[in-house]
Chains A and B, each alone.
Chain A
Amino acid sequence: MKVTIWGSRGSVATPGPDTVRYGGNTSCVEVRGEGGTLLVLDAGTGIRRLGASLPETIRRVDLLLTHLHMDHIQGLGFFAPLRRAGVEVHIWGPAGSNHSLRSRLGRYLSPPLFPVHIREMPCTLYFHELPDGLATHEIGEFEVSAAVVCHPDPTLGYRIASASGTLAYLPDHEPALGLSGFTLPGQWVSGYSLARDVDLLIHDAQYTGSQYEERVGWGHSTMRQAFEFAELAGVRRLSPFHHDPTHDDDTLDFLIDVEQAAREWPFAVIPGAEGSTVTLTQWSNGLVEH
Chain B
Amino acid sequence: MPQKEIELILARHLASYLAVPVFVADPTGNLVYYNEQAGAVLGHPFEDSEDLPLYDRLSALEPKDEKGLPIPVERLPLAVAVAEQRPVHCRLRIRGLDGVHRYIEATAFPLIGFGGRHAGAMSVFWEIEEE
Question: Interface residues, chain A, CB within 8 Å of chain B?
Answer: 94-97, 129, 131-133, 147-150, 154, 177-179, 185-193
Which of B3, B12, B16, B17 sits near A192, CB closer than 8 Å? Answer: B3
Between A and B, 14 residue pairs with Cβ closer than 8 Å are: A94-B114, A95-B114, A132-B115, A133-B117, A133-B119, A147-B3, A148-B113, A149-B6, A150-B6, A186-B3, A188-B4, A189-B9, A191-B3, A192-B3
With contact pairs A148-B6, A150-B10, A178-B16 given, residues A185 and B117 touching in the complex (Cβ less than 8 Å)? no
Which residues of A are found within 8 Å of B119, using beta-carbon distances?
A: 133
For chain B, residues 1 to 18, give those with C-beta under 8 angstroms from any C-beta of chain A: 1-6, 9-10, 12-14, 16-17
Q: Are B10 and A131 in contact (CB under 8 A)?
A: no
CA distance A251 to B106 in the complex (A): 51
Closest to A193 in B: B3
Q: Which residues of B contact A193 (CB under 8 A)?
A: 2-3
Contact of B1 among A95, A129, A132, A187 (CB under 8 A): A187
- Inter-chain contact B5/A188, CB cutoff 8 Å: no
Asked if A177 and B1 sit within 8 Å, CB to CB, the answer is no
- Give the interface size class of chain B: 10 to 19
Taking the closest CB of chain A, its distance from the CB of B111, in whole angstroms, is 12
A97 to B14 alpha-carbon distance, docked (Å): 22
Residues of B within 8 A of A190 (CB): 3, 6, 9
Query: Is B114 in contact with A177, judged by CB distance below 8 angstroms?
Result: no
Do A97 and B114 have beta carbons less than 8 Å apart? yes
**Contact B6–A131 (Cβ < 8 Å):** no
| Nearest residue, chain A, Cβ from B17 | A178
Name the residue of chain A whose CB is nearest to the CB of B115.
A131
Interface centre among B3, B10, B117 (most CB of A within 10 A): B3
Minimum Cβ distance to chain A for residue B12 (Å): 7
Bits for B84-128, please: 1 = Cβ < 8 Å to A, else 0: 000000000000000000000000000001111101000000000
Q: Are B13 and A131 in contact (CB under 8 A)?
A: no
User: Would you call B12 and A188 a contact (CB within 8 A)?
Assistant: yes
- The list of the 10 closest CB pairs from A to B, nearest first, reads A131-B115, A178-B13, A193-B3, A192-B3, A95-B115, A187-B1, A148-B6, A187-B3, A95-B114, A154-B114
Q: How far is the CA of A132 from the CA of B6 in the complex (A)?
A: 11
The A interface, classified by DSSP as helix, strand, loop or mixed, is: loop
A-chain residues with CB within 8 Å of residue B12 when the two chains form the complex: 188
- What residues make up the interface of B, taking CB atoms closer than 8 Å to A? 1-6, 9-10, 12-14, 16-17, 113-117, 119
CB neighbours (8 Å) of B17 from chain A are 178
Taking the nearest CB of chain B, how far is it from the CB of A141, in angstroms? 25
Find out whether the CB atom of B114 lies under 8 angstroms from the CB atom of A131.
yes
Q: Which single residue of chain A is at the shortest CB-CB distance from B27?
A: A133
Residues of A within 8 A of B10 (CB): 150, 177-178
Cα of A192 to Cα of B2 in the assembled complex, Å: 9
Taken together as a complex, chains A and B put the C-alpha atoms of A220 and B13 apart, in Å, by 17
Residues of B within 8 A of A177 (CB): 10, 13
- What is the CA–CA distance of A188 and B1 in the complex, to the nearest angstrom? 10
Q: Please tell me if the beta carbons of B114 and A189 are within 8 angstroms of each other in the complex.
A: no
Residues of chain B lying within 8 A (CB to CB) of residue A187: 1-4
Q: Which residues of A contact B115 (CB under 8 A)?
A: 95, 129, 131-132
Q: Which residues of B contact A94 (CB under 8 A)?
A: 114
Question: In the bound complex, how far is the Cα of B4 from the Cα of A190, in angstroms?
Answer: 8
Q: Which residues of A contact B5 (CB under 8 A)?
A: 133, 148
Q: In the complex, what's the smallest C-beta–C-beta distance from B120 to chain A, in angstroms?
A: 11
With CB as the reference atom, state the residue of chain B lying closest to A155: B6
Contact in complex: A188, B9 (CB < 8 Å): yes
The smallest C-beta distance from A69 to any residue of chain B, in angstroms, reads 16
Assembly CA distance A147 to B6 (angstroms):
9
- Is B113 within 8 A of A133, CB to CB? yes
* Closest beta carbon of chain B to A249's beta carbon, Å: 34
Q: Closest residue of chain B to A177, judged by CB?
A: B13
Q: For the complex, give the distance between the alpha carbons of A92 and B114 in Å.
A: 15
